[in-house]
Structure 1
């Protein structure tokens, strides 16, 4: 066993089984690790005693799990919020897990840290004044370490081309010294990761490099007069050879190829030429995340980890990324991909599922709908088998009891022996009738071990407690009419009359029961239209009218960030205290507020004792929904409400909104979510739709998929399918 502790506020302790056999040259795009345990401990340091008590003091993420990744496969990592997906990804990326070779190139995009693009290099430090790179420069540098190579070239060029006879030697030794320091760091980390035979080998390698560094240090500090002419000639030649090798890495043809590929990726992610030339520090958080995603995609890597890469992409960007990753997988030597996403359509590009559940890892070759159907089919089969066996067992038990009574009454020893024999069979050989391969179960073959006398019971897999949302029914309006009516609306930001209009002649109405989806690329005017609907902006021309008794619930795109800021400002604030302090005319008491929070997945002490600043992203989404649902609105306007949710919670929200009586306006790039809420599609197929399609007043629901482009809005009669082929007509 070996372990590694990450020195941070939360310490990740990883242990795994290590083979003592020489397995030859590893495939760096594969992982095969058994007995994996991951525990997250609070506190920065712990000694041996702390290690011994780690399991009891920390949060156990994985226990005796198997982490097996095949080269070139695409894995969708799925699991509920809080099961440890991000912790597992961090442990893999930072090579905290014993068994991951140090030479493995691992690239990670984490949605919570834009700076942490490459696990090997670590977070990119904030640029000092005058060193703030443009987007294109940042992507190329992050992916190729061009600046590091160029620095070595500059050092060697200055030494070789200078007039000092010792210049080339000094430059060569300076570059060699830097490389030795980097190697020392890696060997030290490897030695701390391992124990046993491999640990001894790693410590020997560390001692060797430490001696080499110490010996070279004396050479590095050697005075010119102590260096022989032969040494000067030898190392001057070596400096020239090293310089030539480095210059090959930055030759114009290779740089041009890298530059072209970087521009292609940035364009696919929505960057224009002008935005590529912008300084990274001037970008918003969403565009910085796209920059980090572009850098991750450009790198040559063995394992590529993408954690929610679609969060800041529009629909066209999501479709491009989906196609790019699929094309990457079809290349001659593709990296192994681990993908986390709540977008069920997007993860359909994956070949396998990696499921984290009950502190274990399970695998399934296929997509998510097939996995869910397979689980349901297996459960139904085992349930039917167990019901039949229980019925048969009850019949045999009754027969045994009858034979025992008759045998004792008539002193019939044969009947008594027969009854006892049947009872022994019932006790020792009752259970599963098929083996793991689906054939007939044989006791001497399929139940190994003389100490085992009984077959295993039929184990019906228990479903997790389903995620569910209960949305309060909207109050009735006293008189009919549209909830929101937008007529001939245009909008332009303050400026001259020549300022281009963000929205042009928009006409749309929202009535009870309506389901309206608003789609469009970033910058097409979606956010502006939403602000007009919820009365956060006024039109430049045209009118926006609302029903006088309308109660509106608005989920803003940055609602989670706003709650996080409030939580940091008031560390004692809980979900319950936040809602209790909220001004509202609903008259809800504490019990009713607790009931509302519980219906949305924030029950009991989670609502009353856990501070808002410690809630996860998914829990903050639930809290924001509770805030807007407390008033029992007739209309919900949801702007990217699924961003921080796991796929099961997205499915629960989709189901709850489908049957809700009020009106729903959705802005989302999650195609599966929009198809379910707006178009009424049931399941994943895209063809089956709701049979009962009546809204709050008994009228047929109006379902519209609206597309914004350059400020103009049109209705897509064919829904999302039409938009998909418009984006990619080929």
Structure 2
């Protein structure tokens, strides 16, 4: 369903008791239900009574709890409804959110994948950009509503100082007041529609009273000149003058100068060159416009700050700056509550104190980092698995003794044996299950089991892995004869010089030498504009070098994932509304392969299924309705069906949830081909290129553990292998030891090796960020 054709229906439990002045930075909502339906948004805002609305259910009887000033990460697989939940909070569609809460949201849109910045204050729900405004003006306008204030000033100033008529100031004052009342009416109307019970009745009474106030204001606005008394003219003229002075104070140069200084600091931190501050907003690309939206979000005061994938278009310098800025925001005197969605594990670990896990239409909470959360899940799985295995052995032993007691009791006519068998059978039927309560103590049937009168305990339920889809990459075929896959020798690239230019354009890349062999893992990091995209174009032969030579293995099959791959697929879906993942991949294979290399439908479905596009998702859902993460998987399928020996991946994590990023990293780590990774995602570079499994480095245990593993690996390689399995295992480990893992930094046209990997680049950027924040 298109977003314009859907409505978000929300309902929740509400207390009947009077609530004191609310804390606007926190929420405590029970019994939350959210459904996305195709019904028009103005037909209903929530299902009546206890009836459930028809549509896609996002949450069912969930609890939404946000504590004031805490930074949360909302995590969940692609398509579970994270963005829908955030939108419902931002638009205050959920009953129980105080109507005066200031909520700011940076959200992703489905149309052009250009993020939008909404401040939910007025009837429009969004602040529209004006293409003629400069970048700096746009940020300040969205953060302060300066344009709205200036419009009121212009109306009052013309009336007060123009002296066109003594009635002009009262008329202008009445118009300004009436426009403000209409904005307030929107909020009261939403409040009355969302609330129920005693508070709903109070809200509707307040709305009715306010509607009368609006009617009176409209009547005063349309009052005839001859009916306005001299006393009213005198009083309202004075009020108009006082209001004008107050508004002018709000936009006085000293206050605006402070806001402008802060706006410039934020824009600089997000990567904007100072020369672009005066650039018209309408000339910016989607990525740069998202940064202006993010800057305005950070500039304005908020009670709840919602950031949906804020790092998508930031380079690593901007990501680290945002980390530091949000940490400073947390330490401020009146910090907002922050809720963010991100695929960047390091960013989440650095920012968030708690996780909100959206899974199976409910919300659960975890205090700690993503790494700690993953470890807790693994530990719980191991514990419950051991408990279940031990219990299965115990059940088997009890079952054997029951059979023996029955046999012996019947043979000897011993009723005690038969009663003992019956007692043990009852224990087997009703007393086997969880041995620990939710609090960790010993399980007691009449205390810990809901509906304990049913007598039987719950079975041991081992939680499934929440790693998203399991990605499987087909093995790369042999090259038949040795040689590098790609070799760059003395490569220099500069853009063509204009005819009127007196000096040649500076070199984007200068004297670059690079050789990629089968199995290599290479990562390229650097700031935006450092030449990463140019290097990728040279590797994939989409552009030619100005100087130097590039050679490729004659049998090389190369797969290239462009950072614009999702947008390209979206355009294909718009051009052909019936196009599906299955039909697109089938067409690719049929038009680009020989007859003996074609895949049948079952094989194509198997490939799509292995990448997370199973069954009807592949064959029935049009491309235009697939999520960004699903389109990434389709783009990967279009690359790997021909079994490439080299994968070149340019910002592949942008539209993926972190579970799928982890699955992709695991798949690439065990793949036998060569991989070139260009990414600002530090976890992906460390896992795929550097081969580091733990995303949190730096503790002595993990370092010593890594050293012990390497020593053990070499010991096993040097030992004698007694059978074919151990020989093949040793060969794989030896290949792993020989595999080249290199992280390169692109800067100033040059390329150098980072001995300590992406961590070394990260440390240098942290020093730069500290200087930016101080200045």
TM-score (norm 1): 0.93
Paired residue for 1:124?
127
Q: Which segments of 5 or more consecutive residues in structure 1 lack a partner in the other structure?
A: 1-5
The answer (yes or no) to whether the contact 2:466–2:659 under 8 Å persists in 1 is no
> 2-side partners of 1:232 and 1:388: how far apart?
89
> 1-side partners of 2:592 and 2:222: how far apart?
74
Map 1:598-609 → 2, pairs under 5 A: 598-609=609-620
In structure 2, do the counterparts of structure 1 residues 645 and 54 end up closer, same or farther at CA, with 3 Å as the change threshold? farther
| Structure 1 residue 717, shift from structure 2 partner | 1.4
How many correspondences in the alignment? 722
Any idea what SS the aligned residue of 2:33 has?
A: strand
Paired residue for 2:176?
175
Provide the aligned C-alpha RMSD in A. 2.6
In structure 2, do the counterparts of structure 1 residues 69 and 465 end up closer, same or farther at CA, with 3 Å as the change threshold? closer
Q: Does 1:547 align with 2:547?
A: no
In structure 2, do the counterparts of structure 1 residues 695 and 657 end up closer, same or farther at CA, with 3 Å as the change threshold? farther
Q: Which moved more, 1:14-23 or 1:39-48?
A: 39-48
| Structure 1 residue 574, shift from structure 2 partner | 1.7
Paired residue for 1:105?
102
| Structure 1 residue 429, shift from structure 2 partner | 4.1
Map 1:13-28 → 2, pairs under 5 A: 13-28=9-24
> 2-side partners of 1:626 and 1:207: how far apart?
58
| Structure 1 residue 273, shift from structure 2 partner | 1.3
Of 557, 582, 593, which residue of structure 2 is paired with 1:576?
582
In structure 2, do the counterparts of structure 1 residues 577 and 438 end up closer, same or farther at CA, with 3 Å as the change threshold? closer
Any idea what SS the aligned residue of 2:388 has?
A: helix
Of 534, 539, 557, which residue of structure 2 is paired with 1:533?
539
The answer (yes or no) to whether the contact 2:9–2:44 under 8 Å persists in 1 is no
> 2-side partners of 1:124 and 1:370: how far apart?
39
Q: Does 1:503 align with 2:509?
A: yes
In structure 2, do the counterparts of structure 1 residues 580 and 416 end up closer, same or farther at CA, with 3 Å as the change threshold? closer
In structure 2, do the counterparts of structure 1 residues 217 and 468 end up closer, same or farther at CA, with 3 Å as the change threshold? same
Map 1:557-636 → 2, pairs under 5 A: 557-582=563-588, 583-585=591-593, 587-590=597-600, 591-636=602-647
> 1-side partners of 2:32 and 2:393: how far apart?
41
Map 1:164-563 → 2, pairs under 5 A: 164-348=165-349, 349-407=351-409, 410=412, 412-447=414-449, 451-464=453-466, 467-495=469-497, 496=501, 497-563=503-569
The answer (yes or no) to whether the contact 1:117–1:295 under 8 Å persists in 2 is no
In structure 2, do the counterparts of structure 1 residues 565 and 8 end up closer, same or farther at CA, with 3 Å as the change threshold? closer
> 2-side partners of 1:594 and 1:430: how far apart?
43
| Structure 1 residue 430, shift from structure 2 partner | 4.0
Q: Which segments of 5 or more consecutive residues in structure 2 lack a partner in the other structure?
A: 698-702, 714-730, 771-775
Cα shift readout 1:461-487 (whole Å, capped 9, x = no counterpart)? 233585222212222223222211111
| Structure 1 residue 305, shift from structure 2 partner | 0.8
| Structure 1 residue 155, shift from structure 2 partner | 2.0
> 2-side partners of 1:559 and 1:337: how far apart?
31
> 2-side partners of 1:48 and 1:725: how far apart?
52
In structure 2, do the counterparts of structure 1 residues 166 and 96 end up closer, same or farther at CA, with 3 Å as the change threshold? same
Of 12, 37, 42, which residue of structure 2 is paired with 1:41?
37
Q: Which moved more, 1:237-246 or 1:535-544?
A: 237-246
Paired residue for 2:727?
none
Q: Does 1:60 align with 2:62?
A: no
| Structure 1 residue 159, shift from structure 2 partner | 2.5
Q: Which moved more, 1:78-87 or 1:149-158?
A: 149-158
The answer (yes or no) to whether the contact 2:467–2:659 under 8 Å persists in 1 is no
Paired residue for 1:159?
159
Of 684, 687, 704, which residue of structure 2 is paired with 1:673?
684
> 2-side partners of 1:194 and 1:50: how far apart?
10
The answer (yes or no) to whether the contact 1:109–1:309 under 8 Å persists in 2 is yes
Paired residue for 1:705?
743
Of 69, 73, 89, which residue of structure 1 is paired with 2:70?
73
In structure 2, do the counterparts of structure 1 residues 447 and 308 end up closer, same or farther at CA, with 3 Å as the change threshold? closer
The answer (yes or no) to whether the contact 2:69–2:330 under 8 Å persists in 1 is yes
In structure 2, do the counterparts of structure 1 residues 422 and 700 end up closer, same or farther at CA, with 3 Å as the change threshold? closer
In structure 2, do the counterparts of structure 1 residues 698 and 410 end up closer, same or farther at CA, with 3 Å as the change threshold? closer
The answer (yes or no) to whether the contact 1:7–1:44 under 8 Å persists in 2 is no
Bigger helix share: 2
| Structure 1 residue 405, shift from structure 2 partner | 4.8
